[in-house]
A and B are shown apart, each in its own frame.
Chain A
């Protein structure tokens, strides 16, 4: 085992609670288990504090109306209950922590005061979950995506989300972060939003029109471009433009087939 592999084991033990409890890790006997466990719990609370503050910033801005700060869940029993199975950065743990925050902030009285609160929480939860997952930290070679010479068989990247909302959230979100006395209203209007993440972990939100929505739903890595164009009801030129935009966002990648 190289020193780098040992370091990776320590990092994994701190990030991955099931691994930390496994004979594989314990057999290495690399660190005091009590100290390691304390530091791992500290890291977990820090990790999700940063994410809740960032991804639930609009709910935080509404806390004086809801009376609930999303990050307060990190001091509760629900979060402690997640810790034995928590894997920092995993989609499952992000889903679990985000659900705690949604449950905490949502209430009947808050929903009456903020009609779009359910949409907002769905949006914030989606952002936090989409951000999770392994990422590319270093560019070692040619990137996949738009512009690849041999691209074919487009596939929606795992974790990409399409939100179907009842309120026009994009119009109200910036206002929530500005000074306000009355809760800024959102227009009741159906809006589709695409939430995607680049390989480097950058989360992007974009309004999705019907073409984007159908391509995201249909691109499964098996359909060829002509098949996809036919099923989505798009001209080839329109499909290619849509795919290029989706690849830039990290929502679609191109396989080379089998």
Chain B
């Protein structure tokens, strides 16, 4: 398949190499560039940049400060779309914060919250909004809808794009003991604009696999090829790895293998 942009995340510790690398079409930005990052001017000039920062959790309306920040970053990057996550990771009073992506309850109340707040954000952005699925390690009994149904209804109500994180789908399938392709088929793939792919590794605390800034396995790349074939509007695939421990070799070889898998 051609015409799909293949890229990765901007990892500042690899800035010098990324500024000259071949074979990378775009870079997603998880953090703003550091004020004295010597490679930032070249990176900005060379790449299509995708805004993929933490803007806020859409269980609550974004405040003016957050919206201004999102607009400012979007303008700085000249991003084709703005990404956020289906997440609710801190309590409403700010007292508890997980500092890690965590999904909301899949209920009617949360659906209404996310739809309302996403629409309010869309009005304030000059670019389309895309939303990324977040894996659950355990089910919360108060949830009322299957995650794919909840997501489908969100996208139908907002018109937002879908940033499909494939390892997240793969992990959920693993912990539900269903085949990844079967679980994937439940999601609104016709809404997908961008896909994330990466590796998973064994985690001692979880006693099972979890997301990691690691190279995707051959199985994951096969899963990617399958997913892309079912996402008619997909425009980009991003190697989802952002960590100071990430090596240049893993980054470049992963992007190359992703491109080959497509």
Contacts and interface: CB of A to CB of B under 8 A. Distances in A.
B44 interface: no
Contacts of B109: 2-4
B59 A36 contact: no
Interface string A108-128: 000000000000000000000
Contact of A38 (B88, B91, B137): B137
Given A42-B206, A47-B100, A134 B95 contact: yes
Contacts of B203: 42
Interface residues of A, number: 38
A138 B98 CA distance: 16
Interface string A132-150: 0011111110000000000
Contacts of B56: 137-138
Contacts of A11: 88-91, 96-98, 102
Contacts of A3: 105, 107, 109-110, 142
Contact of A39 (B62, B64, B89, B206): B206
B25 to A, nearest CB: 29
B96 A43 contact: no
Contact of A140 (B63, B89, B95): B63
B96 A12 contact: yes
A155 interface: no
A7 interface: yes
Interface in A1-30: 2-4, 6-8, 10-12, 14-16, 29-30
Interface residues of B, number: 41
Interface in B64-122: 64-66, 88-100, 102, 104-105, 107, 109-110, 113
A31 to B, nearest CB: 5
B260 interface: no
Interface in A26-72: 29-32, 35-36, 38-39, 41-43, 45-47, 50, 53
A3 B98 CA distance: 18
Contact of A29 (B61, B97, B141): B141
Which of A12, A41, A43, A53 gathers the greatest number of chain B CB atoms within 10 Å?
A: A43
A88 interface: yes
A39 B210 CA distance: 11
Contacts of A154: none
A89 interface: yes
B69 to A, nearest CB: 11
B22 interface: no
A31 B138 contact: yes
A14 B65 CA distance: 28
Contact of A45 (B110, B137, B205): B205
Contact of A30 (B61, B137, B141): B141
B95 A138 contact: no
A88 to B, nearest CB: 7
A171 B215 CA distance: 40
B41 to A, nearest CB: 20
Contacts of B205: 38-39, 41-42, 45
Nearest to B210: A42
B65 A135 contact: no
Given A32-B138, A42-B206, A45-B205, A4 B96 contact: no
B146 interface: no
Given A8-B91, A42-B210, 16 more contacts: A6-B140, A6-B142, A7-B88, A7-B104, A8-B92, A11-B89, A11-B91, A15-B97, A15-B98, A29-B141, A39-B137, A42-B137, A43-B99, A43-B100, A47-B100, A88-B97
Interface of A: 2-4, 6-8, 10-12, 14-16, 29-32, 35-36, 38-39, 41-43, 45-47, 50, 53, 87-89, 134-140
